[in-house]
Amino acid sequence: MKKQEILRHSLEKNRQKLYDLQKKYGFDDARVLKQSMILDELINQYNRTFYSHIKKPTA
């Protein structure tokens, strides 16, 4: 499995886990907040991996 596929699978799995936790415990539960931070880090990792090749404007 390619890194791209692994990241996408992990994102989807963790997104679903966040949804399930939120549905069960509500938005302000510590488990939901922790899972949200995990998902945020995965999204950041995905963005660093797949958008790092895009040149930023110099001006």
Residue 4 confidence (pLDDT): 82
All structural domains of the chain with their residue ranges: 1-52
Separation of alpha carbons 45 and 35, rounded Å: 15
Question: Looking at residue 2, what is its pLDDT?
Answer: 86
Phi then psi for residue 27, to 5 deg, are -70, -30
Candidates 8, 2, 1; CA nearest to 45 is 8
pLDDT digits (tens, 9 = 90+) for 5-59: 899 999 999 999 999 999 999 999 999 999 999 999 999 999 988 887 776 777 6
Domain 1-52 has CATH 4.10.280: yes
